[in-house]
Amino acid sequence: MVTLIALPTLGLGVWAAAALSWSYSDGTRAGFVQKISRKGWLCKTWEGTLYTDIAKGFRSDSFSFTVRNDSVAKAIADLSGKRVTVTYSQHIGVPTSCFGETEYFVTAVQESPE
The domain spanning residue 100 has which CATH number? 2.40.50.140
Comparing 44 with 74, the larger pLDDT belongs to: 74
Note the pTM of the prediction, 2 decimals.
0.77
The 10 Å Cβ neighbour count of residue 60 is 10
pLDDT tens-place string over residues 60-105: 788 999 998 999 999 999 998 889 999 999 887 766 667 678 889 9
* Number of domains observed in the structure of the chain: 1
pLDDT of residue 104: 92
Instruction: Give the CA distances from residue 99 to residues 31, 51, 57, 59, in Å, rounded to whole numbers and listed in that order.
Output: 24, 23, 33, 29
Range(s) of the domain holding residue 100: 2-111
Confidence of residue 23 (pLDDT cuts 50, 70, 90): confident
Cβ pair 65, 50 in contact under 8 A: yes
pLDDT of residue 24: 83
Radius of gyration of the chain, Cα coordinates, nearest whole angstrom: 16
Contacts of 90 by beta carbon, 8 Å cutoff, 6+ apart:
23, 24, 25, 26, 103, 104, 105
